Every structure is written in structure tokens, then in C-alpha cells.
Amino acid sequence: MGVTVLQPYSVPEGQTGPQTIEFLAKRLLALGAVQASTFIVDCETFIPNPQHGTPKTVHVLHNSEYPASTFAVLDTGTKQVPLVADALFDLLMLKMAPAHTSKKQTKIESKGARFEYGDFLIKLGSVTMAENFKGILLEVEYRPCVIPSNCWELIRELLQGFLGVSIPATIPPYFNTPSIMSMNHPKSSEIFNPNHTKQNDVYQPMDTINQYLEHFGNFRKQTMLSGGTGIGAPLRS
């Protein structure tokens, strides 16, 4: 388990998504990376039935990197409660189905090839929502390191190297949120330090999920804004 950073990549003008992905894959192979199977991260969102009080949505995500786990995030609007559980949680979710229904048209996933380059793990994901291509999301994981702030520069250099674009020097905003991973160190004094952000915390698989959720949210918003044609639009990182 290492640190993972997600990076959206906008499809250049006049090119299709698959073309761009193939182009990036060729670059990775030229760099010396080796393809090692495929990956998929999917997200399904359950919303409560309208007669059911406050709007609390539940996002259920799966990551093929952690095949035995199901990740769930409960969004109350003010706070998010994460939950990591066995894969059987999906069955339990079905039991709760009367109270929550899945919005099929918002089911979103990112899938594609998975590359190994030294200790790096690079995934070229094409994001699809209800079978429509939405954009490209790159995942870069540096496996030996567990603290995001320690290896951000490494990951940034790698991204710049093979994407050929300039990446902002600051760590993605997700890592600047105050740390809430108190569940693992309930007694640690670090938790009470307001300056202590996620970038100085030990990275958890849940952080990958949260990042995916954030980016999936962006893709969905984009779809709503541009009326379903989000392809090629410049993306905010």
C-alpha cells in the first residue's frame, strides 16, 4: 500500500478518448513500464426515497486493487462517514434497498490498463458513466511510501515526464483537508492539531476511494453543466 494521486487528463482537440489512451500507453511502454493486467474502480450512488427525510446519499465503491473489500461513503451534506467492509456488504446494501434506491444513470466507473514501472503503479482509466465516455483519469501510485507529502514531488516528476505537461507544484487539494483518519489513532495528539492535514498522514486505501469520489463528482457535475457532452472539456485538477 502506497500513496496514490489521481490526475485527470483532458483529451486533446480532434482526438478520441481511446486514441489518447493508446498514445499514453505507448509512451509508458517506451519508458520501460510493463503492463500488468487491468483495473476497475466503480461507484454506485444510492439516494434515499423522497418520503424519507433528510437527503443522505450513500456511495458504494469497489476497487479491483482491493478485491475483497467494499467501500462506502455516507454523505450527509455536512460530513462524510467512510466505511470499509467485506465484499458481502453489497448484499447488505440490497437489504437496505427499500430505504435507498440506486440511480442507475449515475453509475460511474473508471477502468483500463494497469502498468508497473519500478515501484510505481500507473493506471490509465477511461471514465464512463452509464456506458458513455466521460474523460481520462490517471492513477499513479508510489508503493514504497506511505506519507503523501513525502512522495508528491516524485509522483509529480513522473507525471510531468510522461504526460509532457506542467503539473502544479502544490499537492492536490484533497491532501490539504484536515485529517479525519482518527479511526486508526484515536489517542494520537496529532489529530487535534488543526494544521495537520492528510498529506502528513499515513495513506489509507480509503483515501484513494475519496479521491475517486471527488473526481467522479466533478465528472458528473460537468455532465450536468454541459448537458451530457463533457468530452474534451478542460478539466480542473
**Which residues are at the interface with another protein (CB under 8 A)?**
1-2, 18, 21-22, 25, 32, 35, 37-40, 42, 51-53, 56, 58, 62, 64, 67, 70, 72, 74, 76, 81-92, 95-96, 98-99, 109, 111-113, 117-120, 142-147, 150-151, 153-154, 157-158, 161, 183, 202
CB of 221 to another protein, least distance (A): 23
Give 102 or 233: the residue with its C-beta nearer to another protein: 102
Handedness of CA 137, 108, 39, 132 (dihedral sign): negative
34 vs 106, 119, 155, 177, CA distance in Å? 33, 11, 18, 34
Give 22 or 196: the residue with its C-beta nearer to another protein: 22
Task: Using alpha carbons only, give the angle 52, 57, 61 rounded to the nearest 5 degrees.
Answer: 140
CB of 227 to another protein, least distance (A): 28
Q: Determine the residue type at 77.
A: G
Which residues are bridge partners to 5 per DSSP? 140
CB of 172 to another protein, least distance (A): 17
Give 117 or 232: the residue with its C-beta nearer to another protein: 117
Pinpoint the alpha helices (H) of 100-203: 148-163
Give 101 or 229: the residue with its C-beta nearer to another protein: 101
Question: Which residue's entry shows cell 440490497?
Answer: 94
CB of 64 to another protein, least distance (A): 7
CB of 87 to another protein, least distance (A): 6
Residues 6 or more apart whose CB falls under 8 angstroms from that of 5 comprise 139, 140, 141, 148, 152, 155, 159, 172, 211
Give 111 or 134: the residue with its C-beta nearer to another protein: 111
> How far apart are the C-alpha atoms of 220 and 113, rounded to whole Å?
23
Query: Exposure of 130 by Cβ count < 10 A (0-12 exposed, 13-18 middle, 19+ buried)?
Result: middle
Give 146 or 233: the residue with its C-beta nearer to another protein: 146
CB of 226 to another protein, least distance (A): 26
> How far apart are the C-alpha atoms of 161 and 77, rounded to whole Å?
38
